[in-house]
Amino acid sequence: MSIRLKPLAEQVIVVTGASSGNGLAIVERAVEQGAAVVAVARGEPPLEALRARLAGQGGRIAICVADVADAAAVERVAEVAVATFGRIDSWVNNAGTGTYGTLEQVPLDDHRRVFDVNYFGVLHGSLVAARYLREQGGAIVNVGSILGDRAILQQGPYCATKHAVQALTDTLRMELEAAGAGISVTLVKPGAIDTPFPEHARNFMDQPPRLPPPLYTPDVVADAVLHACVRPQRTLYAGGGGLLSSLLPQLAPRVADAIMEVVGTPAQQKPNDPGDPERRDNLYEPREGARRGSQHVHARHSSLILQIQKLPRGLLVMSAAGLGTALAIGRRISRR
């Protein structure tokens, strides 16, 4: 079966991790563009507030309180989507959690919890979505991370889950293609995004955590995800800084290690700006969420690299060729 994805305004989209950060931005932008959305998160009050706000603006939205680590709860999400809107067209596995600290500092139960949410949550969602989408086709979009390409100090469990999500996504894509299912499978890899993640993560460091710059707003991730809902694409990097951070370790891994060992920890600490205490530590229980973090940071509202990746394949090749020509001319000029 060939892959045919509907225009966004004709879709029913499931979004996990919908009450905060990237998930909240995805839900808001999808509803603004006419999609019907099932918003999924652990906390009922923020979901109820989100539904009231968007429905009050004329949006089509349903909610489902669920922890994606619970396979039965994820099954219930699909049931809510079908009961409310009649079908599912795209499923976005976005929910995530994390810790800051060394591998020794993080207790084994917390390692497992990060895997339960970040890996098994994606697995649960992917399997349920694939079963529902086999009949009419659609899109599965998994939100990974550039840390699936490159591990970083102080976030070992999170990095491990994002490496696992990349392998899971690639395997799922191959299995569905081999079965002739008309399902697009995309992995979106955000760089550092200004969400409440540093405040929500359980912290074992002696300083408040932060995300290292350059940062982008959650709208950049929402742009990538919603593009993948309507156009089949293997991978999308959300943020040029993230792409560059992924390339260096592939080209010079030992150099990247050496740099990380020097700057990796201080780049992730913000001693005088801990953020909102009401948001701290959502590893096992939901906390107050928002689109963006409460720390004082600068975040870019767009990503040129993402826009280039969104180009049709022919234009992308032409753009790459043009960039190569420009670089070659620049080298010649610099030699004169």
pLDDT at site 336 = 46
* Residue 276 domain-assigned (yes or no): yes
- CB-based contact 190:236 (threshold 8 Å): no
CATH number of the structural domain spanning residue 75: 3.40.50.720
Is residue 334 over pLDDT 50?
Answer: no
- CB-based contact 162:148 (threshold 8 Å): yes
* Residue 251 domain-assigned (yes or no): yes
Confidence at 320, pLDDT banded by 50, 70, 90: low
* Residue 321 domain-assigned (yes or no): no
Domain residues for 203? 8-302
pLDDT at site 12 = 98
Phi, psi of 271, rounded to the nearest 5 degrees = -55, -40
* Residue 336 domain-assigned (yes or no): no
Confidence at 332, pLDDT banded by 50, 70, 90: low
The residue-averaged pLDDT of 171-177 equals: 98
pLDDT at site 158 = 98
Confidence at 238, pLDDT banded by 50, 70, 90: very high
* Residue 324 domain-assigned (yes or no): no
* Residue 317 domain-assigned (yes or no): no
Distances (CA, A) of 285 to 66, 73, 90, 254: 12, 16, 27, 38
Is residue 318 over pLDDT 60?
Answer: no
DSSP string, 150-183: S--TTBHHHHHHHHHHHHHHHHHHHHHHHTT--E
Is residue 333 over pLDDT 70?
Answer: no
- Between 23 and 317, residue with greater pLDDT: 23
Domain tally, the chain: 1
* Residue 3 domain-assigned (yes or no): no
The residue-averaged pLDDT of 38-62 equals: 98
Is residue 185 over pLDDT 70?
Answer: yes
Is residue 173 over pLDDT 90?
Answer: yes
Q: Report percent pLDDT > 70 for the chain.
A: 93
For the chain, the straight-line distance linking the first and the last C-alpha, in angstroms and rounded, comes to 56
* Residue 310 domain-assigned (yes or no): no
β-pairing verdict for 99-100 and 183-190: unpaired
Q: What is the pLDDT of residues 246-257, one digit of tens each?
A: 888 888 889 989
The residue-averaged pLDDT of 301-327 equals: 71
Q: What is the pLDDT of residues 256-289, one digit of tens each?
A: 899 989 999 999 999 989 989 989 999 999 999 8
Q: Looking at the annotation, which residues are catalytic? A: 158
Is residue 132 over pLDDT 80?
Answer: yes
State both tokens at 215.
């940062």
